[in-house]
Structure 1
Amino acid sequence: MKRTMRTAALAAAVLLATLVAPAGAAHADAPAPRVDLRVLVVSDGGPATEAIAAELETAGTPYTRVDLADAGRPVIDSGFLAGTVDGRPHARFQAVVLPDDNPFPAGSAEMAALADYERTFAVPQVDAYTYARPEVGLRYAVGDGWAGSVDGVRAEVTPAGLAGPFGYLAGEVPFEDNSPAVDESYAYLSAPAPGADFVPYVEASIPGRPSKGSLVGEYRHDGRRELVVTFVYNRHQRQFRLLARGIVEWMTDGVHLGEDRNYLAVHVDDVLAADDRWDTELNCTPGDVDCPPGEGTPDPIRMVPADVDHATDWQDRRGFTLDLAYNAFGSVGHREENGGADALADKFVAERDRFRWVNHTYTHAFLGCRQDTSVVPWTCATLPGGGTDWVGEDEISDEIATNRAWGHAAQLPLRDDELVTGEHSGLRISPQQPEDNPHLGPALTGNGIAWLASDHSRDPAQRRVGSATTVSRYPMNVFYNAGRAAEQVDEYNWIYTSRAQGGSGICEDNPATTTCLPEPLDTATGYAEHIVPLETRIALGHVLANDPRPHFIHQSNLAEERIAYPVLDGVLDSYEDLFAAGTPVVNLRMADIGTELSRRAAWRTALDAGQVTAYRIGTSVTVETPGGLAVPATVPTGTLHGTTAYGSAYAGARSGWATSGGTLTLALPAPATAPDVAAPGGSRHAPTAPAPRTRVPRAVSAPAPQGPAG
């Protein structure tokens, strides 16, 4: 039988003519069914089904979760799954996700209802993690197969996978191995069973044998299609993140609400200013608030013109644009101290159009409470009569407006509605300042600020402050006060080792810290061998998680030894090794990131409120929403919104946002050929035996300790 990729354009009328409905035979002239754009996720609480549910949640794809452990859950029967609407058959789910191929007791009527439903409406089923055996089209994973750890294995997408749902990948799917002391994955590797209509999409070599076994494949039988996954994973592991898009595309036949892209933006703070250097003897930063007043001598780090040339050359080579958050007084003060000369600012201004620029305030002043730095850590100063002494609205406004005016005079390509305050100040920071400066919101409104950066580690949720909406940024563990690798490692050791090892003891005080070290790193090799691989892996994890939030570093990291570049190159090199050319990193500026996050929040609110109805009839998709709501969708190439192509090309599909007056209609491309569906055969009901119990390693349920590998 010819095995072809099933696309979004399955002809429902043909399927109804060839498949048998639970209530009796359908006729060829029966109306095409309405299939709701919603996924049914039947969960046993295990990490695999929860990972798929998380992928749907993040992408904005509607789904209904049924918890098998919930005594009050609905019964999955024909009435739950389907009905009629306006005289036509109505399928309430476009796909079914199960923990395994049969999570119900032997002879279950619920499994039989699911099987009949899938046959009738050509609804695919994903077996999130199941045991390899003939019931799923595979040989048993004994003898010629393998059952065990696949930590560090480099699996491969097969030609069928590349031609089908995983065509956005370059070919390899590396499995994580972050800690040699912890099992992080487990799989059942085996070949297709004799006579089974099984197409492997992702394979790995069977240890000790020249053959390969399937990790992900499609099994067609009895008029049904199953995506059989025989390895366990959680939502964060790289192997799942690489395959998640393809799993969703397969189960929805390429037509679903929501979108998934891979984003990376990097903000460079303090441009034109200087950053104080870490003192390896004092274990603090002279000139900054972590050193007692008068202790040590400040030793500033500031870029030079050659660093600008390196940055522009790097951008050209990588096809990537940095966002520069600048403090104009860094140049003004430098000119005052150097007879009017500032070669760095002159170079940046000459190359201004090579970067994106963001207002970072004029002097980088702290815009929250007035800080009492006579103690470490600092505290908020109080007024004589009591109460917090806040930086005033006029001072905040001057910092914003003066920096903006300098940028306009220098003809920087700014957006006036973006702002990064120094140290994200003005926003709440625990424990010293648990609330926003009350003068911040009015100052932002007065200056027309729409997008305000926040620190994701302490203020992750998008929220409104005056006229502005926050955009949280991920801090990279490439420190602002380090221009050389040895300084970075020394400070890293101080933070992440125990007091007995000469460190700060933060890990003893907070066991939840995940980057703790068993022993100090070698200052000569620790940066390249530990910190760079670890930070690369963490940042790449954000990129693969459909997360548009930017990362931030500092100008000091582009100066001297330019220690940021190995991490950035590590992320981009890894990405290029993993993805095909049609799936590039999406590099947005802050306002566009804020818009994406705001749209997602509004969409999620509408979904949670039950305000979205979406369905497909044949090649027509209808989405009904409150007026003015932006709708995210992923559809095949050739889909039209009116007379124009929907969305933009990404990962072999079209995706994007469209706003309608309450009803959005999309016209899908017609199928090129009749659907290739396996003819019904054998039993008309589900297998009587439930799936055997599979193994889940501890590190899949609880994350493994952070390490440099991966």
Structure 2
Amino acid sequence: MKGPVIRTLSVFALTAGLVGLPTAAHAAGPRIDLKVLVVTDGGANVVAVTEQLKTEGVPYKLVNLADAARPTITTAFLQDTVSGAPRAKYQAVVLPNTNPFGTGSAEMAAIVAFEKQFGIRQLSSYIYPTPEAGLNYPTYAGQLDGITGTLTPSAKAGAFRYLKGDVAFEDNDPNAPNESYGYLSTPLPDVPAAGTTPATHFEPYLTKDGGVLAGAYTHDGRTEMVMTFAANHFQSQFRLIGHGLITWLTKGVHLGYNRQYFSVHVDDLFLPDARWSTTANCTPGEGCTDPNVTTPDIRMTADDVTAAANWSTQNDFTFDMYFNGFGSDEAVEQNGSDPLLTAVQANKAKFRFANHTFQHTYLGCQQDVTVIPWVCKKDANNNTLWETRPYIRNEITDNRNWGNAKGFGQDTTELVTGEHSGLKILPQQPQDNPNLGLAVNDTGTKWLGSDASRDFDQRAVNNALTVPRYPMANYFNTATVAEMVDEYNWIYTSRADGGSGICEDNPLTVTCIQPLDPATGYQNHIVPLDARIEMSHIIKNDPRPHYVHQSNMAEDRILYPLLDRVLGDYRSVFAENSPLVNQRMAANGAELKRQASWKTTQGAVTAYLQDGRVTISGGGASVHVPITLPAGTDQIVLNLLGLITMTSPFGTSYAGEVSDYKTGNLTFQVGAQTV
């Protein structure tokens, strides 16, 4: 791989061109600070925009109209002068509507003057179409559930270039009207400039059958984006266009970093998984009260490995295989050989491998499984009995050594314990096993997988940081469609319908459904529902990986229909310039760490655009600043005279932009803006 192109310029060449040096004949132009002003009335649309800014790490100032102590928006609030140059304190303005302050408001007048002077863009996040917004009155008002909006060519050529064109509006419950509501309208004709009166033009960006859902209105010497539909930050239609709204508002120049992440961990490779009993509605060894209930274990075959390798190649998607060496050794002891191991070794280049401990034993407290649910064992003084530091350390190192001996390359900083054990689990074990953190340190583990459904935020376990993982719908104890649907029905149907009644007992968290058809329920209900959940993670800049089990690759191979749906849904919406980011857990953990750090350190960073350059300072060597800029941007080094001495291309290309994390004091020559 080639490194960055470094261009060093001679002092003679620089001086001859007076590159980058303001002179008396060319005073410094206006300075635009890289921060967004958000004025909120608490409405869902403004909250959605705010959440998008927060998700990407874009600095913003929030002014709550309902707060009696809020600052008054005046010229002084919006701008001042720095080093003789006028300064805009904000690079963009987000409002609930075109004028939330009322007719004749001095605050709105200050915003309008500010936008005109500095060329600042405005987003009016939810409006009723009127001529004042560049639109005719609505041709339609009402429910938008299930419609498909279309991005116009100008949208796809500009800020929304990361999307293919269709934006589907959710219709999650056909019996619940108005999940989405809004208006369709048509633009007013352009008005050419006359005298001192500027031209007006409305540019549609998102439409439905020719009716505008979102677009940019240029008028009065300024430009505002208007949205004519209600949205919240949970809805996919907003999340899909959210990054484009930020790109448009900031003209592609802002702090922040956005990707679509999707990694899939396959746990328990080489181990057999217990199987769900469709007759007893339980899993032997995992909750069956009757010791006579038995089912055959589930373990991948060599053919299943070949299928996994072929699927990975065909879909350009790599699985992370979390292995337990004991399972293979046990198979060899019982059968004299392990064809599964041989198949994995033959296809090892198709997968990534990671440590899941040697035996997959429980590494938290010592469990008393004579009661259901199990409890932690106690000593005579009522102290919890923990699995020991040496035992945990051996589980980690024995598996690491086993994998190395079998030829499986690993990142030794990564670890997922069996069932995420050792980490706290409520209610039985409300704290981490203190010996887990010690063993983590002993083995050089830096990234420790946790269950995002129980432990969502990244946290420290001694020298390691957790990497929360999302569980996918496919249960560890199922290998066939029939088993999957049967267990799903048991969990999500009422007692009257033959289910467990869990949904009846927990109505705030679980919704009862009608029993699924064993023949069609998986493909028609479970797959689309879980694919929608996975997509909700993917489109919110969330690097948390997902996990399943080797059992889901065996027999009916129920994992693949779900992954086919996720990848198909994603690739039908996103352009080729925005591929899924499928990376190792260590990289996912590092991104979570950077995101969390930026939330607490961004206040120390100063960033602004002036004369085509972005200048960033104040963070120091320890602050990783997320930066997104137009394609063609160069990072530059200046001498004491402000002249360029070195340039190199900035960032990694993604979504039609370039972006990266950087530390220290930085200067960039911004590439051509096309939004």
TM-score (norm 2): 0.92
Displacement of 1:658 after TM fit?
A: 1.5
Quote the residue 1:623 is aligned against: 616
1:162 aligns with 2:160: no
Shift of 1:66: 0.5
The Cα shift of 1:29 comes to 6.4
Asked whether the 8 Å contact 2:630–2:672 carries over to 1, the reply is: no
Q: Does residue 413 of structure 2 align to residue 411 of structure 1?
A: no
C-alpha distance 386-171 of structure 1, shift in aligned 2 (>3 A): same
Q: The residue matched to 2:587 in structure 1 has which SS?
A: helix
The AA in structure 2 aligned to 1:669 is G
The higher-RCO structure (CA 8 Å, 6+ apart) is 1
Distance 1:275 1:230 in 2: 51
Q: Does 1:343 align with 2:343?
A: no
Q: Does 1:545 align with 2:547?
A: no
CA distance in 2, matches of 1:74, 1:621: 28
Are the counterparts in 2 of residues 289 and 373 from structure 1 also a CA contact under 8 Å? Answer: no
2:505 is equivalent to residue 509 of structure 1: yes
| Cα distance, 1:354 vs structure 2 | 1.1
- The residue number in structure 2 matching 1:658 is 662
Aligned to 1:180: 174
From 377, 385, 393, the equivalent of 1:389 is 385
Q: How many angstroms apart in 1 are the aligned matches of 2:290 and 2:433?
A: 25
* 1:478 is the counterpart of 2:474: yes
- Given that 2:149 and 2:207 are in contact with CA atoms closer than 8 Å, whether structure 1 keeps it comes out as yes
Q: CA deviation at 1:510?
A: 2.3
Give the partner amino acid of 1:566. P
1:93 corresponds in structure 2 to 90
- The answer to whether 1:377 aligns with 2:373 is yes
**Counterpart in the other structure of 1:45:** 42
Q: Superposed, which structure 2 residues align to 1:524-535 within 5 Å?
A: 524-535=519-530
**Equivalent residue for 2:642?**
none
Letter in 1 for 2:275: R
The 1:119–1:562 alpha-carbon spacing in structure 2 relative to 1, beyond 3 Å, is same
Deviation at 1:618, TM superposition (A): 1.6
CA distance in 1, matches of 2:407, 2:594: 31
Question: Number of aligned pairs?
Answer: 631
| Deviation, structure 1 residue 659 | 2.1
1:119 and 2:113 matched: no
Quote the Cα distance in structure 1 between the aligned partners of 2:237 and 2:142: 16
Distance, in Å, in 2 between the alignment partners of 1:670 and 1:600 is 28
Q: Is the 8 A contact 2:270 2:324 kept in 1?
A: yes
Match of 1:601, as an amino acid? A
Verify: 1:130 aligned to 2:134, yes or no.
no
> Could you tell me how far apart the structure 2 residues matched to 1:604 and 1:186 are?
33
Contact 1:419–1:451 (CA under 8 A) maintained in structure 2: yes
**Contact 1:361 1:422 survives alignment (8 Å):** yes
Residue 257 of structure 1 deviates from its aligned partner by 0.2
1:199 is aligned, of 184, 199, 203, to: 203
**1:358 is paired with a residue of what secondary structure?**
strand
Match of 2:454 among 455, 458, 472: 458
Q: Structure 1 residues 319, 670: CA separation in 2 closer, same or farther (over 3 Å shift)?
A: closer
1:695 aligned residue:
none
Task: Go from structure 1 to structure 2 and tell me whether the alpha carbon gap of 1:283 and 1:433 turns closer, same or farther (over 3 Å shift).
Answer: same
Q: Distance in 2 between matches of 1:312 and 1:651?
A: 29
Q: Shift of residue 671 of structure 1?
A: 6.5
Determine if contact 2:305/2:344 at 8 Å carries over to the other structure.
yes
1:152 aligns with 2:146: yes
- Number of the residue aligned with 1:217: 215
Alpha-carbon displacement from aligned partner over 1:389-444 (angstroms, at most 9, x marks no partner): 11111110111010000011011120111000000000000000000001100000
The match for 1:582 is 577
CA distance, structure 2, for counterparts of residue 671 and residue 318 of structure 1: 34
Q: 1:396–1:440: 8 Å Cα contact kept in structure 2? A: yes
1:446 aligns with 2:442: yes
Output one character per residue of 1:471-530: Cα deviation in whole Å (capped at 9) or x when no partner. 00000111000000111111111111223333222222322325x233211122111110
List runs of 5+ in structure 1 lacking aligned partners.
Answer: 1-26, 206-211, 676-710
C-alpha RMSD of matched pairs (Å): 1.5
Distance 1:538 1:671, change over 3 A: closer
Q: Please list every run of 5 or more consecutive structure 2 residues that lacks an aligned counterpart in the other structure.
A: 1-23, 191-199, 637-646
Q: Could you give the per-residue CA deviations for residues 239-297 of structure 1, whole angstroms, max 9, x where no partner exists?
A: 111101110000000000001111100000001111000001111101x2312362411
2-side partners of 1:244 and 1:79: how far apart? 30
Report if the CA contact (8 A) 2:97-2:125 is conserved. Answer: yes
Query: Which residue of structure 2 lines up, in the alignment, with residue 247 of structure 1?
Result: 245
Q: Who is 1:493 aligned against?
A: 489
1:109 matched to which residue of 2?
106
Q: Is 1:366 the counterpart of 2:368 in the alignment?
A: no
1:50 counterpart letter in structure 2 = V
Q: Per the alignment, in what secondary structure is the counterpart of residue 411 of structure 2?
A: strand
Match of 1:271 among 269, 272, 297: 269
Partner of 2:349: 353
Q: Contact conserved, 1:489 with 1:527, CA < 8 A, in 2?
A: yes
- Given candidates 288, 291, 294, the residue that maps to 2:291 is 294
Q: Secondary structure at the match of 2:466?
A: strand
CA displacement at 1:667 relative to structure 2: 1.5
8 Å Cα contact 1:291-1:376 kept in structure 2: no
The equivalent residue for 1:635 is 629
Report the equivalent of 2:17. none
Range with greater deviation from structure 2 (233-242 or 491-500): 491-500
In structure 2, distance between residues paired with 1:292 and 1:28? 87
TM-score, normalisation: structure 1: 0.87
Which amino acid letter does the alignment assign opposite residue 608 of structure 2? Y
Q: Residue 215 of structure 1 contacts residue 231 of structure 1 at CA under 8 Å; is this kept in 2?
A: yes
CA distance in 2: counterparts of 1:362 and 1:423, whole angstroms: 13
Q: Residue type of the partner of 1:666?
A: F
What pairs up with 1:588-627 in 2 under 5 angstroms? Answer: 588-607=583-602, 610-624=603-617, 625-627=619-621
Q: 1:172 corresponds to which letter in structure 2?
A: D
Residue identity matched to 1:252: T
SS in 2 for 1:416: coil
Distance 1:309 1:48, change over 3 A: same
Task: Please say if residues 611 and 626 of structure 1, whose CA atoms lie closer than 8 Å, have aligned partners that are also in contact.
Answer: no
CA distance in 1, matches of 2:26, 2:39: 33
Tell me whether 1:31 sits opposite 2:23 in the alignment.
no
Cα contact 1:383–1:389 (8 A) shared by 2: yes
Confirm or deny: 8 A CA contact 2:206 2:213 kept in the other structure. Answer: yes
Residue 226 of structure 1: which of 219, 224, 227 is its match? 224
